[in-house]
Amino acid sequence: MLVLVVLVVLVVLVVLVVLVVLVVLVVLVVLVVLVVLVVLVVLMVLVVLLILVVLVVLVVSLVLVVLVVLVALVILVVLVVLVVLVVLLVLVVLIVLVVLMVLVVLVVLMVLVVLVVLVVLVVLVVLLVLVVLIILVVLVVLVVLVVLMVLVVLVVLVVLVVLVVRMRNRRRAYRVLVGKHERKRPLRRPRCRSEDKTKTKFVISAVYCDAIT
């Protein structure tokens, strides 16, 4: 009886252990299934979130790209407009500078022409004055030469007259010394020629000294 009871108890215990093991196994299986399901759900949620994040990033990227493109286009348009304005301003400035340079060149040319005309007029006036002065100088020189010639002629005539007068005086003195005064015979006896020559030399030297003094 005891053996049977023990056997029954053992069987019951074994059955209970088996049942417990089965329950534990079932619970574990259920838990594993639940964990797997939770993991799958979490994975699916994560995948969905990732997909959503990727979509959002793509959309944001596209929006940013569009904005960047729009900003770049606006900047390019502004730059093109600025370049066109700068080119127009440069062209206007160049045109103004060219016009100013042309005006300055024209003014300088007019001033140069006026200066050349004035210089030519001054040169002509100076040449006329010089010609008049040269003519006056030539006339003065001619007058001076004529006056000098007249003076020289007068001086020559005076010298000739003086020489003629002195020659006559010398001749008379010679005739007086020699004794041939006015075609008359000498009053006393004729002297010898040596005395006549000595007296003649003395008279000529005296007349020459008078002429020098």
Q: In the prediction, which pLDDT does 177 show?
A: 58
Residue 11 backbone class (left: φ over 0; alpha: ψ -120 to 50; beta: rest): alpha
Q: In the prediction, which pLDDT does 188 show?
A: 53
Question: For residue 120, what are the CA distances in angstroms to 109, 126, 128, 154, 170?
Answer: 16, 10, 12, 49, 71
Tokens of 117: 């005309």
pTM score of the predicted model: 0.34
- State the DSSP H helix or E strand holding residue 27, giving kind and residue range, or none if neither: helix 2-178
Q: Angle at which helices 193-212 and 2-178 pack, to 10 degrees?
A: 140
Distance CA 108, CA 95 (A): 19
Tokens of 69: 């493109």
The sign of the dihedral angle between the CA atoms of 186, 191, 197, 201 is negative
- Closest-CA residue to 173 (of 210, 135, 137): 210
Q: In the prediction, which pLDDT does 178 show?
A: 59
Distance CA 123, CA 130 (A): 10
Distance CA 185, CA 179 (A): 7
Q: In the prediction, which pLDDT does 83 show?
A: 95
pLDDT by residue for the chain (213 residues), tens only, comes to 666 677 777 788 888 888 888 888 888 888 889 999 999 999 999 999 999 999 999 999 999 999 999 999 999 999 999 999 999 999 999 999 999 999 999 999 999 999 999 999 999 999 999 999 999 999 999 999 999 999 988 988 888 888 877 777 666 665 655 555 555 555 555 555 555 555 555 555 555 555 555
Q: In the prediction, which pLDDT does 19 show?
A: 84
Domain ranges of the chain: 167-180+190-213
